Amino acid sequence: MLQGKARAYTNIALIKYWGKKDEDLIIPMNSSLSLTLDAFYSETQVTFDPQLTEDIFYLDGNLETGKSSEKTSQFLDKIRQIANIKTFAKIESQNCVPTAAGLASSASGLAALAGACNAALELNLSEKDLSRLARKGSGSACRSIFGGFAEWVKGDSDENSFAESIAADGWEDELAMIFILINDQAKDVSSRDGMRRTVLTSPFYQGWLTAVTEDLATTKTAIATKDFTLLGATAEANALKMHATTLGANPPFTYWSPDSLFAMNQVRQLRQQGYDCYFTMDAGPNVKILTKKSQVPALLQELNKVFAKEKLITAQAGPGIQIF
Ligand code: 2P0
């Protein structure tokens, strides 16, 4: 039996990945840039066992069926192809999230699985090739191979589409992210379906592609010059542009709930009061605040006036993948 284990931390994009050029290989339409966080991670053990007649996937001790196990098994098929084996695997994964908050992340999950398979099958992949492998499980997972800031350079083929670390001279350790957990009453559109629908039908998608190139360049300048205001303002505007494309899709959709809008307004107000804080949002209603670590205690005090304590989770920059 071949066994391997890895831990990967989730990442939040400051410049979003939104749209695929190749859905099978997961080649994105645009490059993206993220911050890996310390608060949420997945730890995954994989065992390739000749006695198994199918893949089995346990998440937090529960046997998974349906979409998440399908995605996992399709990913294992790709790995089996690379390793030239046919053996099925047992996957045992723990998602470490402070509260049960709908924050389970395919980024950390698929990155950890890629790392565990790398160890189990003794593939000896470089970070670059591990990022390429994780990408084929879930696009955002390719960024979770690295700690701190990472850029997923879009490329145009399996060979040249992977993430790399963006050196920030330790500046990432001065940053923090506060998650505001929002109740979701809306019907889910998965990020996979949402991206596809937007690329195919939204007249705003071309505008997104034009804008994101410039936003990425600005963000890299902000990191190089440690300019928090530029980083935050660019990230917030980029998230809004991504979400704007969904309103133009057919049928239209949005990931925002009324409480998301309320939270975004709170962030704007806090900014007017002098706090260094900007928001971002992904394919769900939660609002994430990018701020300076030094301002977290005061910000939490303010946020506690309008949000319950258990709805606020603070994270800092996290490490890259750990393979055991
Ligand atoms: C991101 N998102 O850059 C963007 C922003 C959501 C909004 O990556 O289809 O789970 O597996 O490649 O990576 C979420 O989508 O999608 C995502 P697939 P993934 O973080």
The 3 state secondary structure assigned to 294-321 is HHHHHHHHHHCCCCCHHHEEEEEECCCC
**pLDDT per residue as tens, the chain (324 positions):** 899 999 999 999 999 999 999 999 999 999 999 999 999 999 999 999 999 999 999 999 999 988 778 889 999 999 999 999 999 999 999 998 765 555 767 899 999 999 999 999 999 999 999 999 999 999 999 999 999 999 999 999 999 999 999 999 999 999 999 999 997 766 689 999 999 999 999 999 999 999 999 999 999 999 999 999 999 999 999 999 999 999 999 999 999 999 999 999 999 999 999 999 999 999 999 999 999 999 999 999 999 999 999 999 999 999 999 999
| CA-based torsion, 77, 143, 151, 261: positive or negative | positive
Angle of the 106-120 helix axis to the 67-83 helix axis, nearest 10: 30
Is 283 a pocket residue for ligand 1 (Cβ < 6 Å)?
yes
The rounded distance, in Å, linking the Cα atoms of 149 and 165 is 6
Atom of ligand 1 nearest to the CA of 141: 13
The rounded distance, in Å, linking the Cα atoms of 194 and 301 is 35
Atom of ligand 1 nearest to the CA of 140: 13
Instruction: Reduce the DSSP state of residue 63 to 3 states and report it.
Output: strand
Residue 91 CA to ligand 1 center (angstroms) comes to: 22
Q: Per-residue b/e over 101-123, b at no fewer than 16 CB within 10 Å?
A: eebbbbbbbbbbbbbbbbbbbeb
The rounded distance, in Å, linking the Cα atoms of 111 and 162 is 12
Measured by CA distance, the residue closest to atom 7 of ligand 1 is 282
Helix (H) or strand (E) holding 22: strand 20-22
Is 192 a pocket residue for ligand 1 (Cβ < 6 Å)?
yes
On the CB side of 152, CA atoms within 13 Å amount to 41
Is 32 a pocket residue for ligand 1 (Cβ < 6 Å)?
yes
Atom of ligand 1 nearest to the CA of 26: 12
Burial degree of 129 (CB within 10 A; 0-12, 13-18, 19+): middle
Q: What are the structure tokens assigned to 210, written together? A: 């034009």
Is 260 a pocket residue for ligand 1 (Cβ < 6 Å)?
no
Residue 17 CA to ligand 1 center (angstroms) comes to: 6
Computed over its alpha carbons, how large is the radius of gyration of the chain?
19
The rounded distance, in Å, linking the Cα atoms of 286 and 271 is 19
Is 106 a pocket residue for ligand 1 (Cβ < 6 Å)?
yes
Domain 1-324 has CATH 3.30.230.10: yes
Residue 298 CA to ligand 1 center (angstroms) comes to: 31
Is 212 a pocket residue for ligand 1 (Cβ < 6 Å)?
no
Residue 16 CA to ligand 1 center (angstroms) comes to: 8
Q: CA 313: distance to chain centroid? A: 16
One-character DSSP codes across 23-42? TTTTEESS-EEEEEEEEEEE
Residue (of 165, 116, 122, 120) closest to 142 by Cα position:
165
Q: CA 282: distance to chain centroid? A: 8
